[in-house]
Amino acid sequence: MPIAKASPTKEVSLGKEIPQIQSTDYNGIVVDLKHVPEKALISYSSGFPWKVDYYNQVVNSSNDLKALDPSQSKVYQQYKKIIDLELLVQDPLSESQDDKTKLMTVQGSAIVANAIVPEAGDMFIASVDNGKTGLFVINKTTRLSYFTESTFGVDYQLLGYTENTTDRVSDLEHKVVETLYYNKLHSVYNNSELLNSDEYITQKSLVEMYHYLVDYYFKQFWAHNYQQVTIPKQSFPIYDSFVDGFLHKILNTTDNYNFMTKRLPFTNYDCGLQQLTIFDILLNHQYNLFNKVKKYFGLASTAYFAGNALLLSISYSGLAYVVYPVMKSINPGVLENDPMTYWGYSFDGPLANMASALTNECAGLPLSEHHLHNELITYNSVRIADSILPITKPAFFQQTYIFSNDFYNQNEQNYSLLESLVTNAIKKKSINPKHLSIVCDDHYNWTEFDQFYYIPVLLYLIKNVLGPL
């Protein structure tokens, strides 16, 4: 005969209207653990994150704070379910026995983030270290600071395993009036860590889209003979060091095998390739420097970089041209308004101006596949609020680097949806995940040239919304 019963011997009284802080000798509900040793229950050390499905009581004039009561109507006892709420375990589960009744209790303590205000009588379901799932009740809560943003300490007690408490779990689920999802990274640029079902589904699709886009990008633009991504649909292999540097800042080496093995041509000795671009503004959120970025780019032959004998120099990479900013001096390696040449040598080769390259092939080297193929591309639009916006514009639209001249001149009424999201990211404003999802889904409609330049921006925006992946 077991020494403890699987059902409680009496109902836990938690009071009405306001939470009651129980005394330290409160024993509460007990359960027959069938001689499962302490170490087999859970092995969390202090401060270890523990994901749980948390049931937070809905308290108003009609609902009291009390432990789950199967006899109570759903009208008077309701819960908000928070899936994957993270508890930070302070004291792992431990067993204790009442000397008089010989009944066993299993309890622990943890810290709850400010996403919710825990109440005595709240419930949660979580896995324990013996492979089973337990049903727990909160029997004590403590606010850990007097500030608005605070964490809460909670003491909890194991009621039983869910396989033995199916009636209670079913009643608990029946009384759920709202289901939310916890994402602690969502509060970086947003106000809440809790997502509703639509937001959760959107963010889950963005996670899947992120991994898909990384694989698609390197499959589509990876040049094995150069161990590098190159601009597509061009007559010669062209390298954009600004895109490459941006990829190295936003991706992890484990995101894609090719990215892990790619070589990064050395270009640090050239001042032109160190100019401020929109990628720098994005990465550092430096909106105050927006007017300082270079927005006109052309092409420079890698042969003009041969003055430096570094083995990983771009001149020895096999690549034919590099994307280079158009400056007052047409000599790569020479700073604007600086009469001195860099590293003691000068270049005197032609620099293709993007404006002439797109309008007159004889005036320079073409960079845009729109010009090469005379393609007539139809770009989709979407209604946002009361406005109809193009989802994207052609890359190098109006002959400026990647984004349009309206974007660089901050004419917000003429932004595409993508340009609007990029501006919000620069200004550290929240990015609407649904709007980002619309842009991501539209990438199938873009040319390969558009994809080459816009997909890295999409990857950055996804990480901006979701946090590290």
Q: Which two tokens stand for residue 316?
A: 């020895």
Q: Give the pairing type, strands 152-161 and 104-112.
A: antiparallel
Q: At what angle do helices 197-221 and 433-441 cross, to 10 degrees?
A: 30
Quick check: 278 pLDDT over 70?
yes
Instruction: Using DSSP, state whether 445 is helix, strand or coil.
Output: helix
Q: Give the pairing type, strands 123-127 and 133-143.
A: antiparallel
416: which DSSP letter? -
Quick check: 369 pLDDT over 60?
no
Contact by Cβ (8 Å): 76, 18: no
Q: What is the pLDDT of residues 241-258, one digit of tens each?
A: 899 889 988 888 777 776
What is the rounded CA–CA span in Å between residue 11 and residue 17? 18
Q: Which two tokens stand for residue 168?
A: 């209670």
- Residue 409 confidence (pLDDT): 92
More confident residue, 1 or 350: 1
Quick check: 218 pLDDT over 80?
yes
* Burial class (CB within 10 angstroms; exposed 0-12, middle 13-18, buried 19+) of 84: middle
In the block, residue with structure tokens 């309206």? 406
- Residue 264 confidence (pLDDT): 67
- Residue 184 confidence (pLDDT): 65
* Range from 13-17, 89-93, 172-176, 269-273 that averages highest in pLDDT: 172-176
- Residue 282 confidence (pLDDT): 93
Q: Which two tokens stand for residue 435?
A: 């709007």
Quick check: 391 pLDDT over 90?
yes
Region 454-465: what's the mean pLDDT? 94
Element (H, E) at 281: helix 278-284
H helix runs in 81-137, sequence order: none
Q: What is the pLDDT of residues 91-125, one digit of tens each?
A: 888 887 767 766 778 889 998 876 788 988 899 99
Counting every residue written for the chain, the total comes to 469
Quick check: 287 pLDDT over 60?
yes
More confident residue, 396 or 64: 396
Quick check: 352 pLDDT over 60?
no
Distances (CA, A) of 269 to 139, 314, 334: 64, 10, 11
Q: What is the pLDDT of residues 405-435, one digit of tens each?
A: 999 999 989 999 999 999 999 998 888 889 9
- Residue 15 confidence (pLDDT): 45
H helix runs in 346-390, sequence order: 354-359, 369-373
Whole-structure pTM value: 0.67
- For residue 100, what are the contacts with CB-CB under 8 A and spacing of at least 6? none
- Residue 366 confidence (pLDDT): 42
Q: Return the percentage of the chain with pLDDT > 90, whole number.
A: 23
- Residue 22 confidence (pLDDT): 45
More confident residue, 161 or 255: 161
Quick check: 277 pLDDT over 80?
yes
Q: How many Cα atoms are found within 13 Å in the side-chain-facing hemisphere of 67?
A: 18
Q: Which two tokens stand for residue 246?
A: 């941006």
Nearest alpha-carbon partner for 44 in 124, 109, 120:
109
Region 193-202: what's the mean pLDDT? 76
| CA dihedral (252, 257, 258, 261) positive or negative | positive
Region 217-230: what's the mean pLDDT? 87
Lowest mean pLDDT across 60-64, 133-137, 142-146:
60-64
More confident residue, 442 or 66: 442
More confident residue, 88 or 357: 88
Mean pLDDT, the chain, integer: 75
Q: Which two tokens stand for residue 48?
A: 């270890």
Contact by Cβ (8 Å): 130, 41: yes
Compute the 3-state secondary structure of the chain and give helix, strand, coil in percent, each to the nearest 5: 30, 20, 45
442: which DSSP letter? G
Q: How many Cα atoms are found within 13 Å in the side-chain-facing hemisphere of 392?
A: 27
